[in-house]
Structure 1
Amino acid sequence: MSDLPVSAALPEIAAALAAHGTAVLVAPPGTGKTTLVPPALPGRVVVAEPRRIAARAAAARMAALAGEPVGASVGYAVRGDRKVSKDTRIEVVTSGLLVRRLQSDPELSGVDTVVLDECHERHLDADLLLALLLDARDGLRPDLRILATSATVAADRLAVLLGDAPVIQVPGVAHPVSVAYVPPVRGERLDGVVTRAVRRALSEGDGDVLVFLPGAKEIRWVGAALDVDADVVVLHGRLPSGEQDAALRPGARRRVVLATAVAESSLTVPGVRAVVDAGQARVPRVDHGRGLSGLVTVRVSAAVAEQRAGRAGREAPGRVYRCWPEHEQSTLPRYPEPEIRTADLTGLALELACWGTPDGAALRWWDAPPPGPLAAARATLTALGALRDGEVTARGREMSRLGVHPRLARALVDCPGSAEVVAVLDDDTLAAGIDLAAALRALRRGSPNTQRWRREVRRLGGRESGRDVDPALVTGLAFPERLARRRAVGSRSYLMAGGTAVDLPDGLGEPEWLAVASADWTGRVGVVRLAAAADEETAVRAAPALLVEEDEVRWADGDVVARRVRRLGAIVLRERPLADPPSAAVRAAVRDGLAKEGLALVRMSDQAKSVRARLALLHRVLGDPWPAMDDAAVLAAAETWAAGARNAADLRGLDMASALRSLVPWPEAGRFDELAPERITVPSGSRVRVDYTADPPALPVKIQEVFGWTASPTVADGRVPVVLHLLSPAGRPAAVTGDLAGFWRTGYRQVRAELRGRYPRHRWPEDPTAAEPTRHTIQRPRR
């Protein structure tokens, strides 16, 4: 161990902490920073790890180096498991557990140094812990030393956050690692390409193969597909500690270790000479709009891909097989997205309230919590009774001490005996299917997960005695907005109280009500992953705050709907029509309908279209107060012209020609027909309709009716000429002119020549300006 690179830097690290109180240690994996640095620091040292498996492994390794059992001078504490004694000087804990210790003892009495390991992973608990430690150091414990360690991190930024802390760089001694890309072929699933890469890794070299996969589901897929001459070992955070420990020990035969991100840092998997990287990771995300949160699969960052590759060169030269095309390497994000930007912040908001800074503004953050998600989290805590007027309540402090998400803590507080159900809600990998009640029965009978489940039930202060506790009630207390009702008899689609639709796969029958524990969003619809059958009585009991009875007047399904409704959130329980809804509410609903569906709701007759076009011309030429006639402007004035409409039928029956005229104020309204006449009288005496949809306006008229007319007509106080569309005796276009006098001089001769032979019985005088106009274009014989 003395040959590891960090050994030479131990005096510098200790001196930096003694002189400055904070420091940043940047050292690649395999340099010994996790196991050699804490024992070299004076006094009592607490090491914070991002994961339970890493905490236990680091403690075991340091204890082995000291020649002691775990729990002597080196111990650990993780959720549900602790091995320490009065002689323990170095204690390795998870970041979340240390946050709860700080809440109960902000001075961290008796602790001299806190080591924050693997800061670059940017877990939510770790970022919160750093902010709280800095606050405690600023106010209560100026002597508390803080060392932040990382393999890949923006060290300068972290150093500034720690008060211009010194940065100590330790170079790595990793062996060379060759890189090969194994992209998927067309249509190949992730398990297919990974299995192919594992077989190649086994055939091209010796040693164990470490495979990085996004989650337990993919581990099962690849494990089922592998048929190789090697032991297949599983490693992820939900495994019992004994199985985790076994995966970290060398095997008698060659091994393929199928692991999640837990194997990226803080622990060494011995014997590994090759890494197969699926290129994906599972990270927490929350969709505030749909009320769904959980884990989603994303591409890894370049920093994570590099760190995973380094696992192949810890003990000897190695190889990494990346399951994506080589050209995609340059498109990977540089670092992982910090969880604080994307995860559910309800737990963080409760911790901040317990710390005394509900909005977190008084703290120094690596990345501050986004205001919108933090506000949503505080609203959730208020609904759960954990906050009142922004301050933590006694109930909120009790929920915080339980060490689970505040929603689950609410269920534990409000429903005695619910620990069995909460243990499954907190870790849905304990359930083999989507039926929560069936999963509980299987766990009670005995299953591969029973021992882990019972440990968690005991940790939550329960015991196997809550069998008559309704799992739907417990789930509804934790996730009231996920109570759901079937949308139609025989349907697999359910509407949740929060307003999101989810589909129910096979495995739970077709209950009318569900209490949804978890659901995935597919990009099109939510799909239930774990739920319990429920009924209306249970739903109302679980979510009384969502129960509303009110009169509702709104636009829905193309008409005004007026009803008295009893709802559980978005779910309608009962309804009956309102005989005489308030007029103001009806008018508002009609306006809302017009805003949503537009002028398609009214009937625009030819007369109305003409009025609209005439008004549009006057607005364009003369401006105010002549109103604009585009859709947006007409709809904006709906409060005037649609004031008497109470439903869709009334809208369809409106005289829109009169309605549009009503938008013109006096005295201008009195000149409307003068400025934009609907018809113009031509020399023959006919009153011909002007086409105002054309720009400029057009007057279609037969040539014989305008004989003797030398000046083209105008509208809008003479500002807009009307273009004449001169027609043949059959009504077909013969010529278009805006200069009638010029047409008689130059264009008429050609038109006369073309039409005279075709229409010989019609009058075609040589001088149209002196000819008598007529409606009857056929020459009548003289008597």
Structure 2
Amino acid sequence: MTSLALPDLPVRAVLPELADAMARHGTAVLVAPPGTGKTTMVPLALAEGAAGRIVVAEPRRLAARAAAARMAALLGEPVGETVGYSVRGDRKVSKRTRIEVVTSGLLVRRVQGEPELPGVSAVLLDECHERHLDADLLLALLLDVRAGLRDDLRLLATSATVASGKLAALLGSAPVITATAKTYDVGLGYHAPLRDERLEATVARVVRIALSEVDGDVLAFLPGAGEIARASALLADLSDVDVLPLHGRLTSARQDAALKPGGRRRVVLATAVAESSLTVPGVRAVVDSGRSRVPRVDHRRGLPGLATVRVSAAVADQRAGRAGREAPGRAYRCWPRHEQAVLPAYPEPEIRVAELSRLALELACWSTPDGAGLSWWDEPPEGPFAAGRDLLRTLGATTAEGTATARGVAMAALGLHPRLARALLDGAAAVGPRCAAEVVALLDAGGSGADVDAELRKLRNSSDDGAKRWRREVARLEKLVDGGKGSQDAALVVALAHPERLARRRAAGSRAYLMAGGTAAELPPGSGLGDTEWLAVAEATRDPGRKNGIIRLAARADEELAVRAAPSLVSTAEEVVWSGDVVARAVRRLGAIVLAERPITDPDPALVREALLSGLREEGPSLLDWSTGARRLRERLAFLHDAIGAPWQAMDDAALVDRAGDWLEPELSRARRKADLRRIDTASALRRLLPWPEAAKLDELAPERLEVPSGSKIAVDYTVSPPVLAVKLQETFGWLRTPEVAGVPVVLHLLSPAGRPAAVTSDLESFWRNGYPAVRAELRGRYPKHRWPEDPFAAEPRRGR
């Protein structure tokens, strides 16, 4: 490449230092804020004198295309000559291409295929501060390549923030070069949403304020394409201003229109793509919604998705800085001033919050299934990473040890989420590439209705941008797989992606379904799917507080299709369970769904025993026959546990059920049904819990009855604490010392001749001296035929009068 006169942008001043660092060290970190020219000028400078190709990795397709276009324009060439790009579904390169801009995910695939990166002399990892998952993985793989295969491969990481210490350490204590940009003052204003005002309405209102206060173009940040469309509609009456959307789902022509200045004032409504990856010229005012759409697990689709979150302070500053690139400007923040202090400092790295099965598949293909030995900016979190690896084994993408199978390698090559890759590969073989591609493209984008077949018909016949985008993706996916003509069976493709979401109606006429994974879900009213027994569910939600989930997108299926799509979930087993009694049956299941069952007349005794134990855990010891003797023994043992503790064991329901396998044997092993439990001699069984040798003192420590002065033996009530002895007062004359059990004084309920409590005491001597005279006076009047001596100490105790 011939010498090039580069524009006078801030990064130009550090190019000699950067070239020297790369030559001496082989790696470097360039810290440069947006607008300094790092994305376009640095690759051009690296290419001068380089023997091989310079590859620039961008986190987004839109940024990759724009960077290539800008560099080609500086060279006065069309894209595809010296500078080209490769993104999913679009590639413009030639034999003359020296600089190729690619997306991070695409470069991961390229490194997997050719780890030595033949013909590449340097890789520039752009916008590393955004911490996209593909970018973090790519960095780890390239460091591994450089350590083991290509020590001559130069790596340059760029970041718009100064938090570069960890990045430099990863690159082997790489030199950090900083480019400073000339910036202009940016005034800040805060405009809180009005009451009940939607986000896009707030942005549209503040855009009008910005247009009235600041000359030049307005750049407004919104979370996604939906909000952009609604805000655009609210600004449609601006006759002297062009309102232009800017996001990744637009056609190339419409994206380019937003990046080129026009003859009139413009309002560019953009997603996060315009924070640092792209430069929008002419901007003097920035309106920031304060929200961003970031990767999260989309539980509705069971696939990676996007969630709307508050921006970080670093992102808010980057957005505001867009207003001061070319002249003084103003930033309008659509949140109260006091909320600024509680914004997180930086965005959360995607690897910490994303679904990680695709990352796990790439690592399996790299022969490092657990990621060990790689240098990570942040290591994959253990829980989500383990879940991702489990899914790969379920899909047949990896072996039990975690190594990639041939099938897994083929799935990874498609560049899709493993669920969708499995659906495309197996679906193409079963129903044909076209049908498989159509369904996979729908699942990837998400549907707006409940019926998959209805959604497909709508997309095939519609002419809106979403349908056109879907048809382009279908065409791309169809070329990736082979297969026969097959049949148009969308449900099979859905089931291949989500076998655990195959669902069967619970009862005729019901809208409730049980999914193979065990989750219950309902069809919403008016879904058009209520007449089918089986569904292949693509999307489902579970709202807090609701018993069942809601099916959002599904296709009609049947049992034959379900078994065909999910053979690994089909099992036949003898089940002996407790359902009010022992139920023994041979059951054929698809996951949690019962396909067929028949009774078993001679079930495995061990399984019967476990079922009976389950019944005891579910219904408690009331399943047993508690005779009076058994009940009183339990009460005495419970008292000793409370009074003494070990070795006397607890006797509450939970404790008895927990040890049922010990004290109910061998009777439990011989039992076959609920009725057999009632036949167990519970008192004899309970004695198996007596501790020895302490058990020899049971009657001494907790006697069933106590002898009173009259000679009667009265039962002690151990159901209360402390225990109670209810005895007629006349039988206790002369009894001075309160009786004790296990060192605990009993409470004496002294009864009248009619058996009613006349006094309650745990101190007999005190009662005789202080309480008895009043009790005697009352009882003498009520029971005159009975003896009521004045001196209870000398009186003879009697059972009768």
Tell me, yes or no, whether TM beats 0.5: yes
The one-letter amino acid of 1:469's match is Q
Q: How does 1:19-38 map to 2 (within 5 A)?
A: 19-38=24-43
Selected match of 1:567 from 577, 585, 589: 589
**What amino acid sits opposite 2:789 in the alignment?**
P
8 Å Cα contact 2:630-2:682 kept in structure 1? yes
Tell me, what secondary structure is at the counterpart of 2:689?
coil
Please state if 1:447 is matched with 2:463.
Answer: yes
Question: Deviation per CA, 1:473-527, whole angstroms, max 9, x where unpaired?
Answer: 1121222222222333333333222223334334442232222233344445544
Secondary structure of 1:391's partner? Answer: coil
| SS of residue in 2 equivalent to 1:460 | helix
Match of 1:740 among 736, 747, 764: 764
- Tell me which of 149, 154, 157 is aligned to 2:158: 149
**Which residue of 518, 523, 539 corresponds with 2:562?**
539
Partners of 1:686 and 1:187 lie apart in 2 by: 81
- Kept after mapping to 1: 8 A contact 2:302/2:539: no
Q: Relative to 1, partners in 2 of residues 1:734 and 1:288: Cα closer, same or farther, differing over 3 Å?
A: farther
Q: Aligned partner of 1:425: which letter?
A: V
Q: 1:129 aligns with which of 138, 143, 149?
A: 138
Residue 398 of structure 1 aligns with which residue? 410
CA distance in 2, matches of 1:756, 1:173: 110
Q: Return the alpha-carbon distance in structure 2 between the equivalents of residues 289 and 520 of structure 1.
A: 5
The change in CA–CA distance for 1:32 and 1:633 in structure 2 (over 3 A counts) is same
1:551 is paired with a residue whose SS is strand
- What is the identity, as a one-letter code, of the residue corresponding to 2:511? R
Q: CA deviation at 1:603?
A: 7.3
Per the alignment, residue 60 of structure 1 pairs with 69
Instruction: Report how far residue 252 of structure 1 moved.
Output: 4.8
For the pair 1:554 / 2:577, whether they are aligned, the reply is yes
In the alignment, structure 1 residue 167 sits paired with structure 2 residue 140: no
- Please tell me the residue identity of whatever aligns with 2:734: G
1:447-526 mapped onto 2 (5 Å cutoff): 447-448=463-464, 449-462=466-479, 468-505=487-524, 506-510=526-530, 511-523=532-544, 524=546, 526=549
- Is residue 789 of structure 2 the alignment partner of residue 765 of structure 1? yes
Residue 112 of structure 1 deviates from its aligned partner by 1.4
Query: Structure 1 CA distance, aligned partners of 2:162 and 2:436?
Result: 40
Residue pairs, 1:302-341, within 5 angstroms = 302-341=313-352
What is the rounded CA distance, in whole Å, between the counterparts of 1:33 and 1:346 in structure 2?
33
Contact 2:300 2:541 in 1 (8 A): no
Residue 790 of structure 2 aligns to which amino acid in structure 1?
E
SS, match of residue 533 in structure 1: strand
**Deviating more after overlay: 122-131 vs 355-364:** 355-364
Deviation of residue 639 (structure 1)? 0.8
Question: Matched residues in 2 for 1:338 and 1:727: separation?
Answer: 77
Change in 2 beyond 3 A, CA 1:74/1:31 = same
The one-letter code matched in structure 2 to 1:770 is A
Contact 2:203 2:287 in 1 (8 A): yes
Contact in 2 for aligned 1:34/1:117 (Cα 8 Å): yes
User: How far, CA to CA, are the matches of 2:760 and 2:195 in structure 1?
Assistant: 62
The answer on 1:660 being equivalent to 2:686 is yes
8 Å contact from structure 1 (residues 513, 536) kept in 2: yes
CA 1:354–1:153 in structure 2 vs 1: closer, same or farther (change >3 Å)? farther
Q: Kindly tell me: are residues 265 and 534 of structure 1, through their superposed partners in 2, closer, same or farther at Cα, counting changes over 3 Å? A: farther
Q: C-alpha displacement at 1:77, in angstroms?
A: 0.5
Deviation at 1:724, TM superposition (A): 2.0
In structure 2, what is the equivalent of residue 15 of structure 1? Answer: 20
In 1, Cα distance between the equivalents of 2:208 and 2:563? Answer: 55
Q: 1:625 to 1:482 in 2, by over 3 A?
A: same
Is the 1:292–1:519 contact (alpha carbons within 8 Å) kept by the matching residues of 2?
no
Match of 1:408 among 413, 420, 438: 420
Equivalent pair of 2:514/2:593 in contact (CA under 8 Å): yes
Please report how far the alpha carbon of residue 127 of structure 1 lies from its aligned counterpart in structure 2 after TM superposition: 0.9
The answer on whether the counterparts of 2:86 and 2:101 sit within 8 Å (CA) in structure 1 is yes
| Aligned mates of 1:528, 1:312 — CA distance in 2 | 45
Task: Tell me which residue corresponds to 2:3.
Answer: none
Amino acid paired to 2:24? A
C-alpha change, 1:358 and 1:658, in structure 2 (3 Å) is same
Q: Pick which of 163-172 and 268-277 moved more.
A: 268-277
d(CA) in 2 for partners of 1:559, 1:170: 77
The residue aligned with 2:701 is 675
Deviation at 1:125, TM superposition (A): 0.9
Distance change >3 Å, CA 197–CA 551, structure 1 → 2: farther
> Structure 2 residue aligned with 1:422, among 428, 432, 437?
437
Shift of residue 647 of structure 1? 5.1
Q: Aligned-pair distance for 1:39? A: 1.1
Structure-2 change in CA distance of 1:287 and 1:167 (3 Å): same
Shift of 1:712: 1.4
Alpha carbons 1:290, 1:500 under 8 Å: kept: no
| In 2, Cα distance between equivalents of 1:105 and 1:386 | 21
Q: CA deviation at 1:267?
A: 0.5
Match of 1:234 in 2: 245
Q: How many angstroms apart in 2 are the aligned matches of 1:605 and 1:252? A: 98
Code of the residue aligned with 1:479 in structure 2: it is H
> 1:678: how far off?
2.8
Q: Larger deviation: 259-268 or 42-51?
A: 259-268
CA distance in 1 between counterparts of 2:31 and 2:618 reads: 57
Q: Structure 1 CA distance, aligned partners of 2:788 and 2:229?
A: 93
Matched residues in 2 for 1:334 and 1:645: separation?
65
* Aligned with residue 355 of structure 2, among 344, 368, 375: 344
Task: Using the TM superposition, give the Cα deviation of residue 122 of structure 1 relative to its aligned residue in structure 2, in angstroms.
Answer: 1.4
From the superposition, tell whether residues 425 and 233 of structure 1 become closer, same or farther in structure 2 (CA, over 3 Å).
farther
Structure 1 residue 623, shift from structure 2 partner: 4.7
**How far has the Cα of 1:103 moved from its partner?**
1.4
Q: Distance in 2 between matches of 1:290 and 1:219?
A: 23
**Larger mean Cα displacement after TM superposition, 669-678 or 390-399:** 669-678
Counterpart Cα distance in 1 of 2:138 and 2:711:
92
Q: State the AA in 1 paired with 2:637.
A: L
Aligned to 1:437: 453
Query: How big is the shift at 1:71?
Result: 1.4
Classify 1:204/1:586 alpha carbon distance in 2 versus 1 (closer, same or farther; 3 Å): farther
Letter in 2 for 1:19: R
Kept in 2, the 8 Å contact 1:30–1:174? The answer is no
The DSSP-based 3-state class of the residue aligned with 1:725 is strand
Per-residue deviation, residues 528-560 of structure 1 (Å, max 9, x unmatched)? 44332222221111111111121112345x554
| 1:674-727 deviation digits (Å, cap 9, x = unpaired) | 4322332333455433232333322233433322211211223xx332232345
Q: In structure 2, do the counterparts of structure 1 residues 302 and 663 end up closer, same or farther at CA, with 3 Å as the change threshold?
A: same
Q: Which shifted more, 140-149 or 181-190? A: 181-190
Summarize the Cα distance change of 1:683–1:256 in structure 2 as closer, same or farther, 3 Å threshold: farther
Relative distance call for 1:661 and 1:61 in structure 2 (3 A) is same
CA apart distance, 1:621? 4.4
Normalised by the length of structure 2, the TM-score is 0.88
RMSD (Å), alpha carbons: 3.3
Q: Match for 2:796: what amino acid?
A: E
Change over 3 Å in CA distance of 1:175–1:598 after alignment to 2: farther
What do the CA deviations read for 1:85-141 (whole angstroms, capped 9, x no partner)? Answer: 222211110001111111121111111111111112211111110011001111111
Contiguous gaps of at least 5 residues in structure 1: none
- Structure 2 counterpart of 1:483, which letter? L
TM-score, L = length of structure 1: 0.90
Cα deviation, residue 466, structure 1: 6.0
- CA positional deviation for 1:411: 2.7
Residue 204 of structure 1 and its aligned partner are, at CA, apart by 4.4
Structure 1 residue 611 corresponds to structure 2 residue 633: yes
Q: Which amino acid aligns with 1:441?
A: R
Aligned counterparts of 1:289 and 1:550: Cα–Cα separation in 2: 32
Q: Is the 2:301–2:446 contact (alpha carbons within 8 Å) kept by the matching residues of 1?
A: no
CA distance in 2, matches of 1:712, 1:440: 88
Q: Give structure 2 stretches of 5+ with no counterpart.
A: 1-5
* Kept after mapping to 1: 8 A contact 2:303/2:355: no
Q: What is the Cα deviation at residue 755 of structure 1?
A: 6.2
Please state whether the residue corresponding to 1:41 is helix, strand or coil: helix
Could you say what secondary structure the match of 2:120 adopts? coil
Per-residue displacement from partner, 1:584-618 (whole Å, max 9, x unpaired)? Answer: 11221232344456557667677655433310222
Query: What does residue range 698-717 of structure 1 map to in structure 2 within 5 Å?
Result: 698-716=724-742
